[in-house]
Structures are given as structure tokens and as C-alpha cells.
A and B are shown apart, each in its own frame.
Chain A
């Protein structure tokens, strides 16, 4: 999990936004001034310079004329975040960029960074989005199917885990724990794009916000491995896990997936590995980190393989490098499982410092070129 629950979509936008902030704003302006919507925020108003724009790249030029720090969001009608920018100080200007398709959107300013914000509508008209390579549309469709399959196949495995918890069978629950997480870990960026589900099912103790109740897999992990007992509370939480994951299963089909978000999602999966799994933080009680690790890499590879035909045309050297580094990382991971078809890996507390360094190096070797995949499919 990640504490802040950045969606696949916003992760893309965050990169562009930062780029703009660091000084290339003039370049964006020069490129296409009519793609810019001015947003003037005060402590009580949120004025936008236009209410309608054609589909494609859009840039919000935000100026905070109020006295409070504000946030600006571009939202889907259901409040899903398309793109956002936080911490816009009084008197400062920021830019928020996004790719939008036709439809109704909202632009929201949140003075004081609280509440639902002051909202304006934005209508995006269709037709002008540049025709996308049909192979990329196929890639997106195939990835969506993959994400759905992962969710569909996860639920029965979660059912096994939950049944063991509810039966009070600690050993059986421990055995079913890691397998129940594989589908989720493979498609984590998509799951995280829903925002509300991840904090319920995959949050760690240190990721809890003030007042947030700890629920989900890791809460049960702690009960099984550390507390070594299952009480009434755990059984209730197990049911809750099923409910929340069923919600995920139903929503996967609605996820906004683009070739760029697929590519960045693949990189994010490696980031998950680099920051959570390599350190052993993710599965601190069960030490099943390598199972998550493997699932993250598989999910990243799935995105990559689907995008590869297009990426190869734009950047053949990158594809060669990625093929090589995926293979190297997988070969390294295979050293930690006796059976190449099983997901039973060495307990991570048995992996010493040298082994962890080797895994970390291999992740970096793959993640660095993988960060260039989005550009290779966006060209």
C-alpha cells in the first residue's frame, strides 16, 4: 500500500505538474495557449476562465489570491480525482495538468485545504482527442481484462483466508494469507485509483491517519503472527475485508486506464517493491514480502508486455533493456523459491543484508528504464 493513495491517473498528473512548477510553464503556454484554463482562487471563491474545452490535454493555471493555503482539483462527476495540486500558498501560482476525455467535470478549490471545496463545472467536448494507435486501445482493453481477472480470482482466495480466520484456525489462516493478496498486489495501482478501498484493505499500522480505524489484511496479519490469536474483532474484520474487496471487484471495470497510466502503473509497482518490500516493511509480521514482490513484478510485466509492441517502435533500445532486466529480476527471485510454479517463497527475515542489497539493485536496474516506458508509448 501507499499512505497517500495516489491514483494511477493522478500519478501521471503529478509528474507533469511538478515539471510545470519547476519552470517550463512558458513552454506549455507557447505550445498551446488555448488549452489553458485560468483558475483564480480566493478564500471564498473559485473563478474559472472557461466552462468548456475540447478533449485532450488541459492545463489549469491556478492563482491563489486568498489568504489561506488552497488545493485545486479536477474531478470526475463521481468525485474521482483526475488531477490535483495541494499546498498552493497565498499569492502563489501553480499549474495542474491532465488528459481529459469528453464529459462533465468539476474544478474544485479548497481554501484551507478542507471540506468539499468551491466548485465550478467544466464541460469537455469530444472529438478533438488525437486518434490513438488502435494497438494501444487493445492494450488498455487487455489490461482492464487482466485487472478484472485478478480481482475475480482473488475473491475465492480471500474467502479461504476469511473462512480460516472465522474458524479460529490460526495456522490455516497464515497459510491462506499471502495467496489471498497476490491478485491485489499485481494490480495495485488500479486498485489504488479508487482511493477509498486501499486504506481499508491494505493499510499498515504506520499508514493510519489520525482517527482512522485499522482494518484489512495487515491488521489480521498482526493478529495471526504477532498476537497469535483470533478474537471476535478479527472475525468481524475478516468479513469487512470481503465486503471491501467485493467493492473493488465491482469497480475495476470502471477504472480509468490509459496507456500512460499503465506504463506509470508498472513503474509504481516497482516503486512499491523498492520502498516497501525490499525493506521488509510491507509484511513485517508474516515476512511474506517476497510473495508480494513477485506479484508486483508480474503485474508490472503484464503492463509492459501489452505496451511493448508500440514501445518497441518508439524506443527499441529501451525494450531490449527492459526485457533483459525483467528476466534478471525474475531469475533472482526464483532463487528464493524451490518450486518455480509455486508462490511459496523464502521468509524475508531469512534474507540477509547481502541478499536484500542484491534484490534492491535488481529492482533499481529495472525501475530506472521502466520509468521511461510512459514516454515511449506517449510519443
Chain B
């Protein structure tokens, strides 16, 4: 029996299924169907996507992780240019205040109009009249930030630099960063507005290093939501961790008190984020026979059922799959139980110079431990048949601090003020 099957008492069918694999899983389909996240304060009505409701900003954990997945993403990695720690802390405080307002559907500062005629408005204005659209803003700190501000002793052991994996073709201009902001919303303009305004507030202290837009969510409004398909046409993320699975979130996603001691205790309630820009060789994939496509994934294309099974959610029989099938290699059973919460988005950034779609998966995964999570799974994917059709071109890892607790709290306070 898998771990999830032992949770038979759960009222949600969705909570019985779902595991976190790595690779091309198209993020958190299961979490998309989750109903309430009381622990994060993200107890948004599942109909929120339709009503454009707001997701609570305050909570023990940051919103945007276990929160039901929104339709759109704007992810930005920043470099810190100031060397003054107090100045950087002020940016975090100003960001927190702006995020508190934007996630509630309000304008930044004094708003987008009505202020002094001689001055540019505080808010850029393009989100005026739009609903909160379940906007979540999630901040993470990269390894380089700890070096920059002489915080090496507070860097948690679990925040390891990612090793080089087989097949990596990483572009430095699309990798790493001192900090990141993940903006997710059901309206792309709301997500872009959020990143744009945070970048503006941070000018002179932090600069955007790279950013990525994402799409690719089918439905998150009902527990029976369809599992989204990735750009290869396959359902992926069938067995992701659901937002309602408190036990599995504790076990695989949230950093617990016992995980971090002494100077790393500030991470309690946080998580670790791995971001990978995975380019798909769309055109060659499209010329691949259906049989091979299904062999590569280990699921059938229509239903999404594992090899030899009838239904998408049937328990996979790994040995029935080819040894290099993606699902077989990514499955927790093949990785000492390693499970991560995926929250990725598809991207299509136009075309490259050769007329090929510049498309793929912007993989985002949250985990309690990077070494036992992403690294272990990704190493196991070295022989993945899928590798012929994909290439990892960007990479970053971040320590995601705990949630902003109340109106006086701010992002990163536990790290920068030393209070747990």
C-alpha cells in the first residue's frame, strides 16, 4: 500500500490519490482540486477562480504553495544590487505591504490616480477594475543571498546548490538569483501587474535577473477537476500532493521545527523551491509515433491510465512499464519514497530563430528537503526516455521562508531579525 492509500478516512477522493513525481509533471493538478488550506490561511472557496476571490495573504506558511493552483504565472528572479542590509530589509518590508494590498485586489501605495499631478502614480494601474483573481505572491531566497549578506551561518543545510545533472544545458541568464517572487493568479494581467510593481518598488536595490510567464491550468474549481495536460499532450501530475493532504504536506513540503535547529530555525514553516525551465523539442515529439509517446510516459495518451490499467487514477504497476518510462523512474517507489509538490506551468515564448516553438514546462516544485526531494528524483531520471525530447535550460533553488503572520510581519523577518 502506498502512503496515500492509508488515508482512507479522508472525505476527499482527491486526497486518496496523488503523489509527487518529478520531470515533466504539469504541476499540482490534484492540489488544484483542493478545497481548503486552513493552515496557510488559504481557505479560499473552490469557486474562487470563477468569482475572482482573494486568497488570504497572512498565514503560518506562505500562500501560493498548497493554494489551489491558479491559471497563470509570472515568476521573477532578482539580483540584489544594494550591499546595505537595512536597505534590503526595507525592500522586503515595502514588498510585503504592497503584496498585502495587491493580493486583496487593492492598488499599491496611494493608487494609480488621483494623487499629485506632477508625480507618477504609485500604482501602475493595469489591474484597476480587475478582481483579486486569487493572486498569491510567494518569496524565496537563493543561496547567493546568504553569501551576499554574510548569513552563511543561517543558511539551512537543506538549501544545497543543485548539482549538474546529465543533459543539463543551463543558460546562466535564465538561472539562479538572490531571491524570487512567484506570482500566480487566474488573470495573467494581475500576475504581471504584481511583478511589475514589486520590481518598480525595488529599483535601485534589486533588479530582475530573469522572469518567466506561464500558463496551462485547466480547472481548479472542483475536486473532480481534470488533470491538466502538458504541451506534449499527456496528463501529468495525476498523483501530486493535494492542498488538503495535511499529513503529506507536513511530511514532504513544510519545513518542521525539528528540521532546522539553532541559527536555521527561522525556516520553520517554510519550504524549498526548485525552478527548472525545461524546453521541449516540440516538433520532434510531434513526429513521434503514438506507441513510442505512450511508452515514454508509461501512460496512455487519452485516459492517462498507467500501462496495463484502465483508469488514470489506477495504481501504476511500474514493472509493466518500460525501464526508462518517465512515470516508472519518477514514481516515489523508485525513489525511496521521495515526493515533491509540483506547481509548474507551461510556457511558449514565441519561436526560436529556426521557427521552432520556444516552449516547454516551467517546472516549479516545493519540498521539505532538496537532496531527498528533487535531487534524488532528478538523478533517477538520468535514463528517462523523455530526455530525448526535453532539455533543462534554466535552474534555480530557493529557501522559501515561512508565511507573513499578520499586518506587522514582513517577508523574511525571521531570517533578518533573528526572531523565530
Contacts and interface: CB of A to CB of B under 8 A. Distances in A.
Given A19-B113, A22-B112, A23-B113, A368 B118 contact: no
A372 B114 contact: no
B116 interface: yes
Given A22-B112, A22-B113, A369 B118 contact: no
Interface of A: 12, 15-16, 19, 22-24, 27, 97, 260, 263-264, 321, 325, 361, 364-366, 368-369, 371-372, 374-375, 378-379
Given A365-B204, A368-B203, A368-B204, A23 B114 contact: yes
Interface residues of B, number: 18
A27 B114 CA distance: 7
Nearest to A328: B204
A15 B114 contact: no
B117 A368 contact: no
A187 B204 CA distance: 25
Contacts of A260: 118
Contacts of A22: 112-113, 125, 128
Contacts of B200: 368
7 contacts: A19-B117, A22-B128, A260-B118, A264-B118, A369-B204, A371-B120, A374-B118
B207 A15 contact: no
A378 B119 CA distance: 9
B204 A375 contact: no
B119 A371 contact: yes
A321 B205 CA distance: 11
B288 interface: no
The 7 A-B pairs with the shortest beta carbon distances in the complex, nearest first, are A365-B204, A375-B119, A24-B114, A16-B117, A374-B118, A22-B113, A368-B203
A364 B204 contact: yes
B121 interface: yes
Q: Chain B interface mostly helix, strand, loop or mixed?
A: loop
Contacts of B112: 22
B204 A321 contact: yes
A12 B120 CA distance: 11
Given A15-B120, A22-B125, A372-B119, A364 B114 contact: no
Interface in B64-122: 81, 112-121
A375 B114 contact: no
Given A321-B204, A361-B207, A375 B81 contact: no
A23 B200 CA distance: 23
Interface string B127-141: 010000000000000
Contacts of B116: 375, 378-379
Nearest to A264: B118
Contacts of A372: 119-120
A378 B120 CA distance: 13
B117 A97 contact: yes
Nearest to A24: B114
Contacts of B120: 15, 371-372
A84 B120 CA distance: 19
Nearest to B115: A19
Contact of B203 (A19, A365, A375, A378): A365
Nearest to B203: A368
Given A15-B118, A368-B204, A371-B119, 19 more contacts: A12-B118, A15-B117, A15-B120, A19-B113, A19-B114, A19-B115, A19-B121, A23-B114, A260-B118, A263-B118, A325-B204, A361-B81, A365-B203, A369-B204, A372-B119, A372-B120, A374-B118, A375-B116, A375-B118
A365 B81 CA distance: 10
A365 B203 CA distance: 5
B268 to A, nearest CB: 34
A264 B115 CA distance: 17
A86 B204 CA distance: 34
A374 B119 contact: yes
A356 B125 CA distance: 29
Interface string B202-213: 011101000000
Contacts of A365: 81, 203-205
A334 to B, nearest CB: 18
